[in-house]
Amino acid sequence: MQENNSINMIFKKERFDMKKTTIYIALLCISVTNLFAQKNSFCIDAGVQGYLPDRLFNSNLPKSNPKNGGIGAHIMPMWNHSNHVSYGFNVEFASVTTDAEYDVYHRLNIVSVSPTFKYNITNHKIRPFVGTGMGLYHVFNYTPVLNLGIKPFIGISVYDVFNLSIEYNKILSRINEDPNKYIGFNEYYVGIKGSFTIGLKKTARSKQ
């Protein structure tokens, strides 16, 4: 009898500990969600992107050609001027594959900085947005050192936490190729971006 009481007490204690653990996890999830989702006027948007190979837009290229494909990462401090309008300063790294030279593919490493404008089309929890940026692009080991470029984009925001977008990067100046190295680069690349937004500071904003 005493042994049964001990077993029952152990089961009760385990159930109690499990309830406490569940409550702690729920509170933690709520806290993290609030940290990310609160409508702050100042925030940080950061994430990664994958660049689409040129063969998706040019049927003349073989299906195995990875030209203009690649990966990258970005971080962008943002100021939400209103529920619809946001301004940012995007800092981005891209590693893009060039066309093949004797079946050998090369990569271009590109860093860009650009002031950015973003417009949220609706006020819904899941809402589309459009925007554009214009700034400076630096292609490592090639000239000019600094190149003017643009980056229009379109995407969707989920609860102001997760953003998914497609972005077109176009370097407006011509990259001078090393005569001893063929790079086969058309001064553009298209990326699909995924990012998370973290709020920093909440201030009064216009509702427009």
Q: Do 22 and 65 belong together in one domain? A: no
**Alpha-carbon distances, residue 3 vs 8, 14, 15 (angstroms):** 9, 17, 19
- Domain boundaries, position 177: 40-200
Query: In the chain, how many domains are there?
Result: 2
Q: Estimate to the nearest angstrom the gap between the alpha carbon of 176 and the chain centroid.
A: 29
Count Cα neighbours of 57 within 13 Å in the Cβ-side half-sphere. Answer: 13
Residue 205: inside a domain: no
The C-alpha atoms of residue 76 and residue 197 are separated, in whole angstroms, by 9
Give me the CATH number covering residue 195.
2.40.160.20
Per-residue pLDDT of the chain (208 residues; tens, 9 = 90+): 544 555 455 445 445 455 655 564 555 444 444 444 445 689 999 999 999 998 888 888 788 788 889 999 999 999 999 989 999 999 999 999 887 655 667 788 999 999 999 999 998 999 999 999 999 999 998 888 899 999 999 999 999 899 999 999 999 988 876 555 556 678 899 999 999 999 876 654 445 5
What is the structure's pLDDT at 33?
Answer: 44
Q: Do 33 and 44 belong together in one domain? A: no
Q: Do 83 and 155 belong together in one domain? A: yes
What is the structure's pLDDT at 183?
Answer: 61
Q: Do 76 and 132 belong together in one domain? A: yes
What is the structure's pLDDT at 84?
Answer: 92
Q: Do 155 and 68 belong together in one domain? A: yes
Q: Do 81 and 30 belong together in one domain? A: no
Residue 208: inside a domain: no
Q: Do 91 and 56 belong together in one domain? A: yes
What is the structure's pLDDT at 181?
Answer: 57
Q: Is the pTM of this model over 0.85?
A: no
